[in-house]
Amino acid sequence: MRDQRIEPTVPRNESCLRRVRPAVLAACVVLAALPLPALAALLGTWATTDLDDAQGLSGIEFTIDGVTIRPLAGAYALGEDGKPDPSIPLEVKSRVRGRMLEVTVSSKDLRARGIDPGRAEGLADWVRLHLSRQAAPYGQTWWPSTLYSADGGFWFTAHWVLEESNATSWEAVDQAPQGKGPVPVAHRLVYEPDTAGEFLPIHEVLQIRVSRRLWSVVPVLTQNPSEYREELARSVFIDFWGGAAASELSHFLGIMGEIHRGRFQYLTILQNWEVGGWDSILPDSVWMPDYPPNPSVGTIDELRALCELGKSMGRFGFRTNYRQLRENAPSFTRGIAHYAVNSDGSSRGHLRPADWPAVVGRQEAEIRDLFAPNASFTDELLAGASPSAWHDFAADNGNRSMRESLARQRGLARLIRTTHNGPLGSESLMDQQMLGEYVETGDYTFMNGHNRLYSPEFKLRRLHGLSTFHGMGLMYRFYEMRRISRCWTTTAAAR
């Protein structure tokens, strides 16, 4: 055990990272030998650190204003029985990035089945706030959260990095909004095998933030803003749902054109135009000449004229859906599309992401060649709220980790956007990792909004600059799905 007292060189409420030597900032060590000045920089106050190399993650300890915390006490790899196993070695490396401590955890031990984060000891009274887009729509308390120490008067987060995670799923062991005593501050990470029984090696990145200011610990998203955000912010969204004839839709757009008189633009999306009507042979919407568009809406020429009218007023796009897979879809009967599978080979009920380049690439190219739209919309891409909804456990070209599935989602978005050289919209915008440079717009949904407490601050502080949101709190969703668990998304507890 080592005990060292650190006195920072700046006031308690300011960061002192800029005063830490470059050699310390670049430190990368094994088995929890953390750079000692780092935690003082994060805390911005007197801090005592005790680090036990033999305990790995469990040995991290820090003290702030008399409150001593072991944030990952009892954190070990999960063994083959699904329980923490101290005998499985974990390699732990750390570095300071900005105002956070970043810890990389890895293991090549074939017995490893995940990581249990243990429990933070020493927090005493604590309050958990759910500040994320995933928590806002449904009140999903299983997503990473922010803790407030009532005794210490500081905020604390320990978040695994989604883009780095080899885990199949994240599990919130304790979702209580407040309590006293030991509590998991990070998620349990579970690894599942592919259809050949193979497991990915342990590789995770954990970011730890401690501050007296709430918004210094809530992670900032790393993706770039949408290049179309300012244009879309000046546009009015028209969402054609009803399957009316193209002539009626053209008449409606003509009236809207008279209203705006060039003062602003429209973003128009046509839904229910697909072959056979709404979602009948997904993921296919059109495949000429055998599968033309919905005849009740219009012919190819009529839809092309409608698209041109919409483009003259701003942007126009066609709605698709690449999650659902029907066995009567031509892409399925022709052997191009396949179902994603679980580890045991059973169907997961959705199109496997490995087929997206062929299925999506073909259809989006045909939509481009038929109608030449300058915008697009694909349903359900952001409605799942987690990459785990898009897993495929196939040993051949599958994706069963959070990292792999998120990369496939982003690849799908890039494919659609670049095909039409315009913004992409999606449904409900429940996944914050896709907002910005991947998905530009959509409705900002709250389910059961009349029965729970939430705050607009996360949207304003973390999402507002990334995308444009059309439709805030749709009425029929605002009053539905009452099965919401308790969700605290307020900053009222902040001192």
Q: What is the CATH number of the domain that holds 410?
A: 3.20.20.80
Instruction: Give the pLDDT confidence score for residue 261 in this predicted structure.
Output: 79
- Over range 180-204, report the average pLDDT: 97
Q: How confident is the model at residue 429 (pLDDT cuts 50, 70, 90)?
A: confident
What CA–CA distances, in Å, run from 437 to 6, 229, 418?
42, 9, 12
Q: Which of 154, 181, 216 is the last residue of a domain?
A: 216
* Lowest mean per-residue pLDDT among 119-128, 164-173, 467-476: 467-476
Instruction: Give the pLDDT confidence score for residue 52 in this predicted structure.
Output: 56
Q: Could you give the percent of the chain with pLDDT greater than 70?
A: 84
Instruction: Give the pLDDT confidence score for residue 225 in this predicted structure.
Output: 97
Are the C-beta atoms of residues 207 and 161 closer than 8 Å to each other?
yes
User: Which residue from 445, 453, 443 is spatially nearest to 481, judged by alpha carbons?
Assistant: 445
* Lowest mean per-residue pLDDT among 26-35, 66-75, 255-264: 26-35
> pLDDT of 72-124, one tens digit each?
999 999 999 999 999 999 998 887 777 788 889 999 999 999 999 999 998 88
Q: b vs e for 295-329, b when ≥16 Cβ sit within 10 Å of the residue's Cβ?
A: eebbeeebbbbbbebbbebbbbbbbbbbbebbeeb
Other beta carbons less than 10 A from residue 407's beta carbon:
15
In-domain check, residue 222? no
Distance (Å, rounded) from C-alpha 225 to C-alpha 203? 28
Other beta carbons less than 10 A from residue 30's beta carbon:
11
Q: Please tell me which residue, 348 or 65, carries the higher pLDDT value.
A: 348
> pLDDT of 128-153, one tens digit each?
998 998 888 877 788 899 999 988 88
Distance (Å, rounded) from C-alpha 136 to C-alpha 327? 35
Q: Which of 171, 192, 216 is the last residue of a domain?
A: 216
Query: Does residue 14 have a pLDDT over 70?
Result: no
Q: Please tell me which residue, 411 or 17, carries the higher pLDDT value.
A: 411
Distance (Å, rounded) from C-alpha 159 to C-alpha 183? 14
Query: Does residue 39 have a pLDDT over 60?
Result: no
In-domain check, residue 465? no
- Residues 26, 145, single domain; the answer is yes
- Residues 144, 257, single domain; the answer is no
What CA–CA distances, in Å, run from 434 to 13, 43, 64, 381, 384?
33, 31, 36, 9, 11
Query: Does residue 423 have a pLDDT over 80?
Result: yes
**Cα torsion angle, 465, 471, 472, 476, sign:** negative
- Residues 86, 160, single domain; the answer is yes
- Residues 279, 185, single domain; the answer is no
In-domain check, residue 494? no
In which order are the strands placed within the sheet that holds 2-6?
2-6, 47-51, 60-64, 67-73, 119-121
pTM comes to 0.87
Distance (Å, rounded) from C-alpha 396 to C-alpha 444? 36
What CA–CA distances, in Å, run from 328 to 104, 116, 275, 352?
46, 43, 12, 16
Q: Please tell me which residue, 180 or 451, carries the higher pLDDT value.
A: 180
- Residues 12, 137, single domain; the answer is yes
Query: Does residue 226 have a pLDDT over 60?
Result: yes
**Whole-number average pLDDT of the chain:** 84
In-domain check, residue 113? yes
Are the C-beta atoms of residues 17 and 41 closer than 8 Å to each other?
yes
Other beta carbons less than 10 A from residue 438's beta carbon:
26
- Residues 80, 148, single domain; the answer is yes
Query: Does residue 392 have a pLDDT over 80?
Result: yes
Q: State which amino acid sits at residue 424.
A: L
Other beta carbons less than 10 A from residue 174's beta carbon:
12
By the 10 Å C-beta count (0-12 exposed, 13-18 middle, 19+ buried), 217 is classed as buried
Q: Please tell me which residue, 447 or 357, carries the higher pLDDT value.
A: 357
> Structurally, how many domains does the chain consist of?
2
In-domain check, residue 382? yes
Q: How confident is the model at residue 42 (pLDDT cuts 50, 70, 90)?
A: low
By the 10 Å C-beta count (0-12 exposed, 13-18 middle, 19+ buried), 5 is classed as exposed
Q: Which of 178, 193, 216 is the last residue of a domain?
A: 216
Q: How confident is the model at residue 378 (pLDDT cuts 50, 70, 90)?
A: very high
Backbone φ and ψ for 152, nearest 5 degrees, come out as: -85, -20
* Lowest mean per-residue pLDDT among 27-36, 192-201, 357-366: 27-36
Query: Does residue 383 have a pLDDT over 90?
Result: no
CA angle 256, 262, 266 (to 5 degrees): 50
- Three-class SS of residue 215? helix
- Number of H helices and E strands in the chain, helices first, is 11, 25
- Residues 109, 183, single domain; the answer is yes
* Lowest mean per-residue pLDDT among 23-32, 179-188, 297-306, 453-462: 23-32
Instruction: Give the pLDDT confidence score for residue 481 in this predicted structure.
Output: 65
Compute and round to an integer the Cα radius of gyration of the chain.
Answer: 25
In-domain check, residue 280? yes
DSSP labels, 237-268 = EEEE-S---HHHHHHHHHHHHHHHTTSSEEEE
- Residues 259, 280, single domain; the answer is yes
Q: Please tell me which residue, 484 or 448, carries the higher pLDDT value.
A: 448
User: Which residue from 300, 266, 268 is spatially nearest to 286, judged by alpha carbons?
Assistant: 300
- Residues 199, 81, single domain; the answer is yes
- Residues 246, 193, single domain; the answer is no
The single-letter DSSP state of residue 213 is S
- Residues 74, 199, single domain; the answer is yes
- Residues 247, 205, single domain; the answer is no
Q: State which amino acid sits at residue 494.
A: A
Instruction: Give the pLDDT confidence score for residue 233 in this predicted structure.
Output: 92
In-domain check, residue 462? no
User: Which residue from 123, 209, 104, 214 is spatially nearest to 174, judged by alpha carbons?
Assistant: 123
Q: What is the extent of the structural domain holding 207? A: 2-216
Instruction: Give the pLDDT confidence score for residue 445 in this predicted structure.
Output: 81
User: Which residue from 99, 100, 185 is spatially nearest to 147, judged by alpha carbons?
Assistant: 185
Q: How confident is the model at residue 48 (pLDDT cuts 50, 70, 90)?
A: very low
Query: Does residue 488 have a pLDDT over 60?
Result: no
The single-letter DSSP state of residue 450 is G
Query: Does residue 394 have a pLDDT over 80?
Result: yes
Q: State which amino acid sits at residue 460.
A: L
Other beta carbons less than 10 A from residue 20's beta carbon:
19
- Three-class SS of residue 116? strand
> pLDDT of 254-264, one tens digit each?
999 898 878 88
Query: Does residue 434 have a pLDDT over 90?
Result: yes
Residue 300 parent element (H or E): helix 300-312
In-domain check, residue 448? no
Instruction: Give the pLDDT confidence score for residue 70 in this predicted structure.
Output: 87
Instruction: Give the pLDDT confidence score for residue 482 in this predicted structure.
Output: 55
User: Which residue from 227, 237, 231 is spatially nearest to 443, judged by alpha carbons?
Assistant: 237
